[in-house]
């Protein structure tokens, strides 16, 4: 049997190696075996080569930061130098503006003095005209018209808003034709007080130094009371020249005096009335002179 020749071994007939269990998942296997893409791997290798050949990245970042700081310092230094150069020019322009404002203020003050001087001149001429045309009663006409200063006995009436009226409290609200307030004296209240003093025999009246005439107007602008378009601030000091005994009694018994008493009792308005000697009332700041001429009466129709 040893001499028997054995058949030659056929390599093609050798059994094939067994297939991998994950052969059907070739794409997934490739991804797992090659987690880093070839392109990324090449780029990473190239960056490593360049890094070893050049400077470290941290050093490059520090150099870039230093260059930025140097550039910022240069910009700040240049700006400071320019500001230092421009400072004298700005100071000069500022001083010129200040000088212009001061000159304008001085000019305005001069105009105000001129206006006041002209007003006094006009008032003086008006007073002289009243005395001349008033004849024997020229002094009385000047007194009643407010063209001259007045001094004598009379009454001093101080009227003020209720306590806390500026903050909306104090006193109960009044309703009148849709208007309400909380303890504030109104222009119509002041009108009644002044009319009551005139009717009680006052010869001259002033409110906070403003002389009243027959043509004076007491109005309101918001919460302020105006006398001849000049605002007044409470407390209101009303001075009335006349017979202090008769004037005080007559005013308190009048309807307007009772009206003021009702304001005190019901709305918290504060008022004090006291006789005074030596009251001094200034002349009216603005005086309007009007003249009237008598005309002949026309004869009646049919008269012979």
pLDDT tens for 181-240 read 568 899 999 999 999 999 999 989 999 988 888 888 899 888 789 998 889 888 999 999
Give dist(CA 27, CA 24) in Å, integer.
9
Query: 298 falls in which pLDDT band (50, 70, 90)?
Result: low
Backbone phi, psi, residue 231, to 5°: -70, 145
The answer to whether 283 touches 209, Cβ cutoff 8 Å, is: no
Residue 38's SS3 state is helix
Neighbours of 262 (CB within 10 A): 11
Tokens of 99: 């000088």
pLDDT at 208: 92
Rounded to two decimals, the pTM is 0.52
CATH of 150-281, one of 3.40.50.12160, 3.40.50.720, 3.40.630.30, 3.30.70.1880: 3.30.70.1880
> Which one, of 158, 150, 159, lies nearest residue 241 by Cα?
150
**Helix and strand element counts for the chain (H, E):** 7, 10
pLDDT at 73: 86
- What is the domain partition of the chain in residue ranges? 150-281
Neighbours of 155 (CB within 10 A): 24
């Amino acid at each position: 049997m040893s001499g028997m020749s054995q058949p030659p071994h056929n390599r093609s007939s050798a059994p094939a190696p067994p297939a991998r269990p994950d052969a059907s998942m070739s794409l997934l296997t490739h991804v797992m075996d090659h987690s880093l893409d070839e392109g990324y791997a090449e780029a990473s290798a190239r960056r490593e080569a360049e890094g070893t050949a050049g400077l470290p990245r941290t050093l490059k970042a520090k150099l870039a930061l230093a260059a930025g700081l140097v550039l910022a310092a240069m910009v700040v230094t240049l700006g400071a130098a320019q500001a230092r150069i421009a400072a004298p020019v700005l100071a000069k322009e500022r001083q010129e503006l200040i000088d212009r404002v001061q000159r304008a203020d001085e000019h305005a003050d001069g105009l105000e003095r001129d206006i006041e001087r002209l007003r006094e001149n006009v008032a003086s001429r008006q007073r002289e005209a009243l005395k001349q045309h008033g004849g024997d009663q020229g002094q009385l006409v000047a007194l009643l018209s407010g063209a001259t200063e007045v001094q004598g006995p009379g009454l001093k009436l101080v009227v003020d808003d209720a306590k806390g009226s500026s903050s909306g409290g104090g006193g109960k609200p009044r309703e009148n034709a849709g208007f309400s307030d909380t303890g504030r004296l109104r222009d119509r209240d002041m009108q009644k007080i002044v009319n009551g003093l005139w009717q009680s025999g006052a010869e001259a009246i002033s409110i906070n130094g403003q002389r009243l005439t027959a043509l004076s107007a007491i109005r309101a602008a918001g919460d302020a009371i105006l006398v001849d378009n000049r605002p007044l601030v409470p407390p209101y000091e009303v001075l009335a020249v006349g017979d202090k005994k008769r004037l005080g009694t007559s005013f308190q018994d009048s309807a307007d005096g009772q009206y003021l008493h009702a304001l005190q009792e019901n709305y918290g308005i504060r008022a004090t009335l006291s006789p005074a000697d030596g009251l001094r009332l200034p002349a009216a700041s603005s005086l309007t002179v009007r003249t009237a001429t008598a005309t002949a009466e026309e004869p009646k129709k049919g008269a012979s």
